[in-house]
Structure formats: structure tokens, C-alpha cells
Amino acid sequence: MTFRTNLTAFCFILLTTVAQADIVTPKHNAVASAHPLATKAGLEILQAGGNAFDAAVTVASVLGVVEPYSAGIGGGGFWMLHQAKNNKTLMIDAREKAPAAATRDMFLNKKGAVDRDLAINTALSAGIPGQAAAMAHLAEHYGTLPLGKTLAAAIHYADTGFPANKVYLQLAKVRHSVLQRYPASKRLFLLDGAEMDIGTLIRQPGLADTLQALAKDGFAGFYKGDVAKRLVKGVQAYGGIWTEQDLADYTVVERDPIRFNYQGATIWSAPPPSSGGVALQQMFGMMSQFKYSDMNEADKTHLLIEVMRRAYRDRAEYLGDSDFVKIPLNRITSEEYLQDLSDSISMAHATPSSSLGLPKQVGSGTHTTHFSIIDKQGNQVAATLSINLPFGNGVTIEGTGVLLNNEMDDFSAKPGSPNAYGLIGSEANAIEPGKRPLSSMTPTFMEFGPKDNRQLAVIGTPGGSRIITMVFLGLLEALDQKGIQSWVDRPRFHHQFAPDVVQYEDDAFDPKLKAALEKRGHTLKSVGREYGDMHTVRWYQKNGEVEAASDKRRLGYAEISP
């Protein structure tokens, strides 16, 4: 028995060594993010000897400064990591948590309806942020450089300022009425009403001081001591319910990713409390029951809409924080279950969502950011970070520069009622103290391609409820061996079960395809604009070549090192 066990172990090590010998490590470092300043800062850290995890801290922190409308240390997110030296893939869950004083009905008015303003535009809507904890965790366990080095660029841009761009000006206008409610936000982000143009300098000296404290003292620099006291005092002054104990008790969680195979590809994606990985596994699992590659364009599009519909239906029914609710993960991702779902799909007619049944208990962020990184050792990071709506809930805590999230709206404030994105939730995602709200953030890795040309994709995007379907469509482009820019440029469409409409970008469907879909019973609704901001990296494992691409819809920037 001992001999046989040792022989088996030896064979496994031998096969693993051979497999790894066939992989050529990346010839270049690569970073793709939503802002040129963040991408360049990340590459500088890599060129200075840091690894992908160090660069991730730098990129995330700079984005939190130059994209205050998207994600900062007042928010949270999911960080997919692959550590090359031990072939380890995991997700760091830095999702916000409900404060200890949170209650199930905290956003309901006297009539029992959800008070939307209370749920998205006040300090009460802020969960305990996880971003700073994630940075400290990465530095302590995965990086090679101190936070003083990796946060330096963010501290610089917070202190000296960054030039406003068109996206900043657009979103500041969208949230103007909320930002001007709160003095620090009005002063910092609206310049007290002064006229702003492209190039206007936005300075955040209080945020620079908070980042300095994080750099000096790590976790304790944000979640304990002076910064924590100021945060709690400010939150409570605006009607929030944070306590110093809430901050001190915050922890990130390392979770095993959702992992599955599809036609020779292996996909790793975010597990609960993200719904992204489960939805991707379900959609690809349903597709595997059909001869998708042999279909015409109308059939392919119809099938994709139908698998989206069913995955989002199950999202509403079953998913939440797995530390609080029992999720029937094995059942809803089993081959038998997915076969049953696919059997309910008619290729001739759209399935009315109402015929699939509403979640038992019935009667995610528009602003988020993403970045992708690969270093020359083969370490990988896909991180999707958020404060939920643009500029979060609009509250900036005086003296800290911390702009608060409104992620409490991602809970089911009233099970069965839609949130800001129209997503329905059930009891699985009801508010509870210490619980993390369900998310659509879907940072993902995919190994794919023929045996003689295996490739690795690092991919993700912001976009609220549409994140999952954007990543899904991007992965399909990769599986078709399309160029990396086409992954992010592909015109997008989306179905989320309720409302029962196909949302689409104007160039997603030509007149012939529209007519074919409408003939099958689909209701089509243009969103009237482009959406999403995808950033991705591809590594060819045979020769070590690396590519990176950023979405042309926004201002992102992708670059590989010389």
C-alpha cells in the first residue's frame, strides 16, 4: 500500500512537472485598467521588482483616487488571484458587510415599501468597507513590497490632484444633487459649485492622509485608531449605524473559486457572495446540451438569451452569502439539473419569464471598476471593485476623504422587490448583521485553446446587473479564438429574468436579427447607450507572448512592459 501510494504521488509530480515544462512563462508584464494613471503606476511597480499582487494594490488604490465615482477604500470587491509558484487559485472576498445594528426592515417606510432615497443616498446605506483590508491582506500574504511603496502613487494623486476627464464630469453631473447634500463631497468633488472642465484638478488631501495611515499601520491604520474614530463619528452624524467594533471586526475571506469545464476550457470565477461564477457555470452548462457552434446567428442569440434568463432566475431564488445561507450549489450546477433547464428551452419560441415561476419568497453596482494583471512569473489578478452607484451614497467623511459605498442596497431590502438595478432577491439575500450582500461582480480566469496553443485569459468588467452577461459574451469571443480587442469590443445584450426584456446596445442586433428575435417572442429594448468597461489580458502559454486590451467605450488603458 505504501509503495503504491508513493508511486502514485511520484507519477502525479512527474506529470505536473512535464505539464509545467510545456508552459513558457509570460515574456512581459501586463496591466489593463480603467484609467491610464492606474495602469502606468501598476507597471512601474512591476518594473521595480514587485509582483502582480503588489501591482494590484497599486492599481486599485490609484483607481480609488482618480475614479472616486467607481471604487475606493470606502467600498469593497472581489480579487481573483493565481499564485504561480504553487499553482494556487483563490478569491479574496473583500465585499462590504452589514453593520451589527443592521435590521431586515431598515429601509422600509411606514407603509412597508422600500424608501429608495434612504437605501442609496444616505450614510445608512453604507456597508462596512473591505477595500483597505484587502490591500493589507495582499501586502502581508502575497506581495513582496511594503504598502508604503505600493500606495505611494495613490497618495501622490490624492495629495497633488488628478485632472478631471469627461467620465468624471458626466458622473458628477448625474449625482450632483446628492453630492451637494454633504459638505465634504460638495467641496471635494463639485469644487463648491465652481465651474469644472476637462483638466480641472481634483485634490483629496484627507484621503492622502488616510492612505498614509494605511501604508504605515496596515489594517489597524484604517479599521482602528484615529481614522476609525473619525469614520464612525462622521457616519453616525449623517444617520448611519457604524460602530468602531464593526470596523475592528471586519475580515476578508479567502474562498475557493467556482471552477468548471466547457468544451476543453477550464474556467475559474467568483463564488458566492458573488453570483457571477454560478451563473457562468449554469449558462455554459446549458449551452453544452446544444450544438451551439453549428447554429446560425439568430439561433445562437436566442439560445444565449434563454440561458441568461434561467441563470438570473436561479440567482434571484438561491444565491446569497454562503456564510449565512445554505446554497444548493451542487444541485443547481449538476449535469442533471442543467439538462432539465436546457430541456425547457424551445428554439422556436422565447420562454416567458413568468412561466418559469418567480422565486419562492416573492409574493448589483452601475459604478464599479475592473483591472487585469499578469506578471512575468505567471501570477495573475482579476479584480472587480465597487462602491455601487456613481460616487456611492454621496457621503464623504470629513477629515478622511473616504467616500462611502451604498452596497446595502444590494441586499433584498424587501424580498421580492427590485433594487437599483432591477434585480429581484429572495430571503437568501435579506439583510442580516455581519452578512455580505449578493453581487454580480465576476472577475474570471479561463484556460482555453487547442493543446498546441493553450492560452490564459484574465477578464472582468463593471456594469451592475449586466456584468455577468458581459463576461459571458467576452469569454465566448475568446473561445472562438477572436482577437483580444474583440473580446471587449463585442456589442452587448442582456436578459436578467425580470423584467422580461432583452436589453441591448444599439449596434448589437441588425434589422434582420431583430426581426428574427421578435418573431420568436422576445421583447427588445435598446439601452440607448454603450455600457461596460472591460479590461483583459491574454497569455499564450506555448511561447510566452502576452496581449492586453481595454474597452474603447470608456477611457481605459492597457499596456505591456517592454
Smallest Cα–Cα separation from 64: which of 457, 383, 525, 439?
Answer: 383
Q: Is residue 151 domain-resident?
A: yes
109 and 183 inside one domain: yes
pLDDT-above-90 percentage for the chain: 88
Q: Are 456 and 446 in contact (CB under 8 A)?
A: yes
Task: Identify whether residues 315 and 458 lie together within a single domain.
Answer: yes
**pLDDT grade, residue 455 (50/70/90)?**
very high
CA angle 195, 555, 210 (to 5 degrees): 70
Contacts 24+ apart (CB under 8 A), 112-115: 112/414, 113/414, 114/413, 114/414, 114/417
Here the cell at position 232 is: 464612525
Whether 11 shows a pLDDT value over 70: the answer reads: no
pLDDT higher than threshold 70 for residue 8? no
Residue 465 forms part of a structural domain: yes
pLDDT, one tens digit per residue, over 431-449 is 999 999 999 999 999 999 9
Domain annotation covers residue 423: no
Is the pLDDT at 143 greater than 80, yes or no?
Answer: yes
Question: Do 492 and 445 fall within a single domain?
Answer: yes
Average pLDDT (280-298) is: 97
Angular region, 420: left φ>0, alpha ψ -120 to 50, beta rest: alpha
One-letter amino acid for residue 243 of the chain: T
Confidence of residue 23 (pLDDT cuts 50, 70, 90): confident
Residue 380 lies in a domain: no
Average pLDDT over residues 183-198: 96
Higher pLDDT, 426 or 175: 175
**Is the pLDDT reported for residue 421 higher than 70?**
no
- Flag whether 6 is in a domain: no
Please check whether residue 65 lies inside any domain of the structure. Answer: yes
pLDDT band at 71 (very low <50, low <70, confident <90, very high): confident
Mean pLDDT of all residues in 364-382: 87
Are both 44 and 158 inside the same structural domain? Answer: yes
What is the arithmetic mean of pLDDT over 59-63? 98
Res 192 pLDDT > 90: yes
- Least confident among 73-82, 103-112, 270-279, 397-406: 103-112
One domain for residues 247 and 262: no
For the chain, give the percent of residues with pLDDT over 70: 92
Instruction: Name the residues annotated as catalytic.
Output: 368
Report yes or no on 374 lying in a domain. Answer: no
Total residues belonging to the chain: 562
Grade residue 284 by pLDDT with cuts at 50, 70 and 90.
very high
Among positive and negative, which fits the CA dihedral 255, 261, 266, 270?
Answer: negative
Please compute the mean of the pLDDT values over residues 53-62 and round it to a whole number: 98
| pLDDT band per the 50, 70, 90 thresholds, residue 419 | very low
User: Structure pTM?
Assistant: 0.93
For residues 162 and 295, membership in a common domain is answered with no
Same domain, 62 and 165: yes
- What range defines the domain where residue 131 resides? 30-75+85-252+392-408
Query: Which of the four pLDDT bands, split at 50, 70 and 90, describes residue 357?
Result: confident
What local confidence, expressed as pLDDT, does residue 363 receive?
31
pLDDT score, position 438: 93
- Amino acid identity, residue 262? Y
pLDDT (0 to 100) of residue 358 = 65
Mean pLDDT across 35-56: 98
Task: Write out the DSSP string of 95-133.
Answer: --B--TT--TTTTB-TTS-B-HHHHHSSGGGPPBP-HHH
- What is d(CA 260, CA 278) in angstroms, rounded to the nearest whole number? 10
Same domain, yes or no, for 488 and 556?
A: yes
Say how many domains are in the chain: 2
**Same domain as 318, residue 200:** no
Average pLDDT over residues 314-324: 91
71 and 206 co-located in one domain: yes
- pLDDT beyond 80 at 15: no
CA-to-CA distance for 238 and 195, rounded, in angstroms? 27
What integer pLDDT is reported at residue 29 of this predicted model? 98
Question: 417 falls in which pLDDT band (50, 70, 90)?
Answer: low
| Shared domain check, 446 and 542 | yes
Average pLDDT, the chain: 92
* CATH (domain of 544): 3.60.20.40
**pLDDT-based confidence at 362, cuts 50/70/90?**
very low
The verdict on 247 and 292 lying in the same domain is: no
pLDDT tier, 180 (very low <50, low <70, confident <90, very high otherwise) = very high
Do the strands 502-504 and 524-526 form a parallel or antiparallel pair, or are they unpaired?
parallel
What is residue 415's predicted lDDT score, i.e. its pLDDT?
57
**pLDDT over 50 at 222, yes or no:** yes
Measured CA to CA in angstroms, residue 281 lies from 253, 458, 511 at distances of: 22, 17, 31
Examine residue 332 and state whether it is found in any structural domain, yes or no. Answer: yes
What are phi and psi for residue 118, nearest 5 degrees? -60, -35
